[in-house]
């Protein structure tokens, strides 16, 4: 057992809290102290809610004393700064929302707080979740806890770094094109993107509404199951939320890998994959076999089309969603507007960063008359073909195994001048969003520079249990997920 409670996994923490060997207040204070010393180097948090966290912990301790708590009661969480939190500033890492304090709470954070979870603060991210490296944040880059000269991945890089550096017990992220799984892979943690519609999007600041999905970022698959249990479920406030019963993810964790058919998509192991990632994945495949899985080689021919398709559809939706930031109702407003036109123009010119502007321009272009059919409509058709590819694969296998990223974490600044290179690093994650499937990333090794490598498991629609139990079986047999960076 660790003497430092900030090192404990969520399930270990819950156990100690329940047995009253640990108080939530003591735990929160330990995190706040650790954040004070370590966060200045990592920049994982944008806003801390010290008073709210201590108060929440005290209430949780009362519930736990009265034996009324559940598995999340008193658990300190870090929340990506795009979940609206009532009374706590929510910026989406943008200057345009720098002064925005929501008057309401997102469904996901409402559910977690009702279960007794405690919010430590709001984590850094790419501006409006647009990016793969956390370098587009108005609040500066997040540093990878394994090597501070490198990116933590994006867009949920603050949440990933906070979990990896033990600055929270677990965190929330969102994944539109990989933003939970990619930073999870690059920081050596577990990250799950649920099926589109499994978790309510109400109160999440929208980027691309047909792709956005919230999920847990944790030390293990078991911890992810514990968080998802409370996050998942139908919400009448989100018209795209699925009205289907939520299984008992924790009880189903021990299904094991015996007899499960695991597809190995050839396109994910072709050119562009770095040597170290390839080797770690080869070893992991053998471990899956040893655990009883049957590996089935197969093909997902539309894999290559995913990047152009996503980088048409996501900006199109973003250009529409971000039209609301105009300096009129909330958020940043330019000084001394001359007239309404000047107010709109300068507010947006001054309030948005350059990547966000690039996406708005791209999106506006592909939706404009004369180009709509050539780009937007075409991309929608390709999106269907991509989903069909996965559908055909899941007629043969139960889940898919693939790398999460082509390479380990790159250097800060390495790709900032070349957006296309940056977009290409999403090659293995965005297909899953286009098809609406659940997928997770777990650590499966390290490269020569001691940087974590991620393994991705992709499941059938609503089969979060299938990928969580496979990940759990692997984590019972390996210890990659228990390693910590030296800080």
Judged by CB under 6 A, how many residues of this single chain contact ligand GLN?
A: 13
Q: Which is nearer to ligand GLN, 76 or 131 (CB)?
A: 131
CA atoms within 13 A on the CB side of 189: 39
Residues 386-445 that bind ligand GLN (CB under 6 A): 426
The answer to whether 155 is a known catalytic residue is yes
Residues 201-230 that bind ligand GLN (CB under 6 A): 207
Q: Which is nearer to ligand GLN, 423 or 480 (CB)?
A: 423
The answer to whether 179 is a known catalytic residue is yes
| Strands of the sheet with 261-265, listed across from one edge | 45-48, 118-123, 76-80, 170-174, 214-218, 190-193, 439-446, 452-459, 399-403, 261-265, 294-298
Which listed residue (167, 314, 399, 467) binds ligand GLN by CB under 6 A?
314
The verdict on 233 binding ligand GLN (CB under 6 A) reads no
Pairwise CA distance, residues 48 & 40, whole Å: 13
Q: Which is nearer to ligand GLN, 85 or 179 (CB)?
A: 179
Q: Which is nearer to ligand GLN, 132 or 229 (CB)?
A: 132
Which listed residue (130, 151, 232, 409) binds ligand GLN by CB under 6 A?
130
Q: How many other CB atoms sit within 10 Å of the CB of residue 55? A: 14
Pairwise CA distance, residues 144 & 44, whole Å: 9
The verdict on 353 binding ligand GLN (CB under 6 A) reads no
Q: Which tokens go with 211?
A: 């792709």
Output phi, psi for 483, to 5 deg.
-80, 145
User: Least CB distance from residue 439 to ligand GLN, whole Å?
Assistant: 12
Those residues with Cβ within 8 angstroms of residue 131's Cβ, 6 or more apart along the chain or in another chain = 154, 155, 355, 422
Question: Which range, of 10-18, 176-184, 230-238, 300-308, touches ligand GLN by CB under 6 A?
Answer: 176-184
Q: Write the interaction track for ligand GLN spanning residues 77-116; mark x where CB under 6 A is met and - where it is not.
A: ----------------------------------------
What string of DSSP letters covers 37-62? Answer: HHHHHH--EEEE-HHHHHHHHHHHHH
Q: Which is nearer to ligand GLN, 79 or 129 (CB)?
A: 129
Buried b (16+ CB within 10 A) or exposed e, 315-348: bbbbbbbbeebbbeebbbbbeeeeeeeebbbbbb
Pairwise CA distance, residues 140 & 163, whole Å: 19
Q: Which residue among 80, 193, 285, 415 is the active-site one? A: 80
Q: Which tokens go with 329?
A: 């109702």
Pairwise CA distance, residues 482 & 470, whole Å: 17
Which listed residue (155, 219, 230, 319) binds ligand GLN by CB under 6 A?
155
Q: Which tokens go with 465?
A: 């249990």
User: Least CB distance from residue 191 to ligand GLN, whole Å?
Assistant: 11
Q: Which residue among 106, 179, 200, 469 is the active-site one? A: 179
Question: Which range, of 88-96, 126-134, 276-284, 376-384, touches ligand GLN by CB under 6 A?
Answer: 126-134
Q: Which is nearer to ligand GLN, 76 or 157 (CB)?
A: 157
Which listed residue (106, 134, 141, 179) binds ligand GLN by CB under 6 A?
179
Q: Which residue among 9, 133, 137, 155 is the active-site one? A: 155
Which listed residue (43, 132, 321, 475) binds ligand GLN by CB under 6 A?
132
Catalytic residues: 80, 155, 179
Binding site for ligand GLN (CB under 6 A): 129-132, 155, 175-179, 207, 314, 426
């Amino acid at each position: 057992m660790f003497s430092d409670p900030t090192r404990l996994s969520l399930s270990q923490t819950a156990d100690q809290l329940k047995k009253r060997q640990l108080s939530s207040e003591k735990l929160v204070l330990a995190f706040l102290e650790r954040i004070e010393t370590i966060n200045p180097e990592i920049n994982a948090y944008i806003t801390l809610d010290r008073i709210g966290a201590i108060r929440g912990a005290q209430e949780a301790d009362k519930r736990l004393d009265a034996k009324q708590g559940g598995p999340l009661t008193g658990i300190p969480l870090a929340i990506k700064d795009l979940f609206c939190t009532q009374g706590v500033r929510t910026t989406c890492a943008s200057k345009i929302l720098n002064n925005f304090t929501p008057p309401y709470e997102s469904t996901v954070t409402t559910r977690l707080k009702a279960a007794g979870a405690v919010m430590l603060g709001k984590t850094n991210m790419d501006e409006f979740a647009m990016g793969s490296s956390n370098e587009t944040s108005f609040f500066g880059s997040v540093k990878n806890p394994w090597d501070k000269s490198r990116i933590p991945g994006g867009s949920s890089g603050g949440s990933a770094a906070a979990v990896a550096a033990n600055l929270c017990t677990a965190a929330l992220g969102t994944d539109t094109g990989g933003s939970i799984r990619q930073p999870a892979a690059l920081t050596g943690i577990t990250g799950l993107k649920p099926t589109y519609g499994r978790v309510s999007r109400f109160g999440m600041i929208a980027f691309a509404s047909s792709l956005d999905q919230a999920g847990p970022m944790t030390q293990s698959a078991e911890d992810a199951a514990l968080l998802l249990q409370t996050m998942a479920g139908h919400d009448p406030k989100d018209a795209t939320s699925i009205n289907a019963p939520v299984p008992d993810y924790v009880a189903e964790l021990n299904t094991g890998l015996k007899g499960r058919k695991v597809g190995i998509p050839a396109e994910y192991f072709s050119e562009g994959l770095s040597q170290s990632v390839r080797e770690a994945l080869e070893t992991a495949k053998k471990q899956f076999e040893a655990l009883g899985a049957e590996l089935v080689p197969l093909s997902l021919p539309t894999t290559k089309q995913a990047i152009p398709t996503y980088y048409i559809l996501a900006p199109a939706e973003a250009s529409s969603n971000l039209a609301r930031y105009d300096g009129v109702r909330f958020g940043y407003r330019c000084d001394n507007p001359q007239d309404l036109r000047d107010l709109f123009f300068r507010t947006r010119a001054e309030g948005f960063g350059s990547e966000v502007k690039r996406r708005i321009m791209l999106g506006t272009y592909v939706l404009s008359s004369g180009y709509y059919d050539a780009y937007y409509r075409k991309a929608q058709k390709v999106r269907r073909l991509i989903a069909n590819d996965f559908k055909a694969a899941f007629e043969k296998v139960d889940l898919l195994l693939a790398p999460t990223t082509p390479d380990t974490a790159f250097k800060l600044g390495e790709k900032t001048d070349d957006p296309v290179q940056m977009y290409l690093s999403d090659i293995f994650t965005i297909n899953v969003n286009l098809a609406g499937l659940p997928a997770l990333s777990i650590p499966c090794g390290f490269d020569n520079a001691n940087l974590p490598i991620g393994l991705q498991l992709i499941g059938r629609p609503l089969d979060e249990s299938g990928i969580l139990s496979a990940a759990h079986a692997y984590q019972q047999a390996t210890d990659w997920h228990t390693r910590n960076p030296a800080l």
